[in-house]
Structure 1
């Protein structure tokens, strides 16, 4: 079966982290989001991967090449973002049998994708507490009869989880008219398939749409928790490694440091001396965590330096950033409310009591900078020594 992986989006809700890298290629537990998706498809039996690419396409091509996990890889360019049905339609000439469609910025439990492939034609579903925010699946006699988009009064809590297996005949159903939003919607294709075929709902155990910065934290929390302990790098005899920790070959943990799992220290990264890396932390390649620094539940991307005596908690820090000594991130509001973050120009709740900051590529902070919870520092932003940053910069 062919697996079509939609990876062409710009990821505007993930900015500034997606300014230089397409959202599906942001890292989760040591590999891009879309690599987790591709891996699940291969494990479920996909015999070809077709990536729909656009923004940042070369980054996708460089990572996956012409073959991934022994499965051939093809690429189709979606020149204009005209909707999900348009993205799949771009692959029409590649389709030669039943095919699956997966989102490159979604995470799925692999066992669920395996069941999805076995039940073809099929649609992935998940049970949620707020079904009115999703497309709700109406099911009768074990088959999907309708998808109700964001209904005021949902009939159940079973919603569309954004993974499908289509019959080959759906190849000729992909050229749909634009919706009221001006996009060619894959749900319109689904409606026709549901009317002509018996489509099975397959309930996933877990699913995530990784669309905003705090969801990148949640994604890492999930996938780091599935890793087995592996220590291949250089660890001082005076350092302590606790729990499910991955330390890649070429990484260094210096004396007096503590790394608590689940955590991931990538090739070329260095920790310490006397640093404390707490659970659910991902350190990308060539990150430097200095003397007496504490990192907690954070994602720190490539070539970033966190100078000595700093604290970073519940945060996402971009590439090539430099935190001056004594930079401290606050991650809890005094009023106990959920931390808010700016997404596409609007302040929205993260749904998290603890959330720190989002830092773009190339940011530099002066020594003893203080960052309030929910602050975003744009690409190449600067702070002065001793500056307290309470608003986006």
Structure 2
């Protein structure tokens, strides 16, 4: 079994976090997003990983190398993102048997991927609350006979989750025609597989696509809860670590700190004194959480500083961000409605009652800055001391 892992996209809906980092390499707990999928494939028994790369490809290559967890790794480059069939087609020269296709920006439960790999030609399925937003599976008993894209009145809530195992012959079926969207779609390849093979479906117990910043928060909420307590860093006797807290070697926790898991403190991070970290929180490598800071349910990426007397809740801070003393993030609307965020120029509901801010790499706030819920700061953005920021910058 070979596994083609699609990791070429930039992730424009995830901006500004992807300004210098491909979406599949954004941090989810203790590893990049796409590494969770690669690990699932390895645990399911894949013999080889073929990573399709494009945007910021060197970041992916540096992480996975030529061998990852004992499994050989090859690379195929997709210079233009022209669709899923186009992406898989770039790996054509490496394919020589049946192969799986997994998405580097999706998370799957491990047991279901193992079942998919064991079943032969097959596709993953999921019970969706709003099936008309997806491709709905057409089935004949346990067999999949087609996929209907976004039907107005779906007869079932069983939708395609994308991941699939294809027969070796599908290697020669990847040269499909452009769709109405101007892309080369893997669903057109699947149509031929459905016609010539008995294709089963594997229903996923848990699955999520990670396309927007609040979904990256949700992904971390999922994966951080799977970590077991482990303390290898330098932790003061006067610190209070409660529940599933991981402190990696090289991290330091000062006196008076309270951490309520699930929390991951990565190597080189420094917390305290007297800081309070709670909820599903990731503190990235070499990050700084200073005196009397509270961090709640947030992703703080590497080399980012929240030095002292600040509050950050339900937020995502990119790399090398610096919050001035007393910076406060508001994460709740007064009308109690879901917080909205601008995505590709449009205001979109996050569906989250509590949601803070998204901050791009290298942004800095002045002391006593206040940030409204849903605000986005672009890479390198600046705020003035005592400023209230209610619009994206």
Aligned to 1:172: 172
**Distance apart, 1:5 and its partner CA:** 0.1
Output the CA distance in 2 between the equivalents of 1:387 and 1:52.
Answer: 44
Distance 1:188 1:243 in 2: 48
Shift of 1:79: 1.3
- Please give the alpha-carbon distance, in whole angstroms, between the structure 2 residues aligned to 1:312 and 1:279: 12
Q: Which residue of 1 aligns with 2:241?
A: 241
Distance 1:162 1:37 in 2: 13
Structure 1 residue 197: Cα displacement: 0.5
Match of 2:255 in 1: 255
Aligned to 1:116: 116
Per-residue Cα deviation, 1:51-82 (whole angstroms, up to 9, x for no partner): 00000100000000010110000000011111
In structure 1, the partner of 2:287 is 287
SS in structure 2 of the partner of residue 4 of structure 1 = strand
Aligned partners of 1:29 and 1:223 also within 8 Å:
yes
* Deviation of 1:359 (Å): 0.3
Give runs of aligned pairs for residues 1-393 of structure 1, distance below 5 A: 1-393=1-393
How much does 1:286 deviate? Answer: 0.4
Offset of 1:139 from its aligned partner? 1.2
Q: CA RMSD in A?
A: 0.5
- Measure, in 1, the Cα distance between the counterparts of 2:311 and 2:286: 19
CA contact (8 A) 1:138 1:155 kept: no
Q: Deviations over 1:19-51 (max 9, x none)?
A: 000000000001000000000000000000000
What CA distance in whole angstroms lies between the structure 2 residues aligned with 1:246 and 1:307?
21
CA distance in 1, matches of 2:295, 2:137: 42
3-state secondary structure, aligned to 2:116? helix
2-structure distance, mates of 1:265, 1:173: 46
Deviation at 1:10, TM superposition (A): 1.0
> Cα offset for 1:112?
0.6
Provide the rounded CA distance (Å) in 2 between the counterparts of 1:328 and 1:291.
14
Secondary structure, aligned partner of 1:136 = strand
Structure 1 residue 141: Cα displacement = 2.0
Q: Deviations over 1:83-131 (max 9, x none)?
A: 1100001111111111000000111001110000011101001101100
So what's the TM-score if we normalise by structure 2? Answer: 0.99
For 1:281 and 1:257, the matched residues in 2 are separated by 15
Moved over 3 A (4+): none
SS at match of 2:238: coil
Task: Please list every run of 5 or more consecutive structure 2 residues that lacks an aligned counterpart in the other structure.
Answer: none
Work out the CA distance in 2 between the residues paired with 1:144 and 1:190: 10
| 1-structure distance, mates of 2:375, 2:159 | 33
Cα offsets for 1:254-303 (capped at 9, x unmatched): 00001111010000001100000002000110000000000000000111
Q: What is the Cα deviation at residue 307 of structure 1?
A: 2.1
- What are the superposed Cα offsets for residues 223-262 of structure 1, whole Å, 9 maximum, x if unpaired? 0011111111010000011111111000011000011110
Unaligned runs of 5+ in 1: none
Which whole-Å CA distance do the structure 2 matches of 1:141 and 1:180 have between them?
31
User: Separation in 1 of the partners of 2:307 and 2:199?
Assistant: 55
Secondary structure class of the residue paired with 2:319: coil
TM-score relative to the length of structure 1: 0.99
Q: How many residue pairs get matched?
A: 393
Q: Report the secondary structure of 1:216's partner residue.
A: helix
Deviation at 1:145, TM superposition (A): 1.1
**Matched residue SS, 2:187:** helix
3-state SS of paired residue (1:116):
helix
SS in 1 for 2:153: coil
Give the match's secondary structure for 2:227: coil
Contact 1:258–1:277 (Cα < 8 Å) also in 2: yes
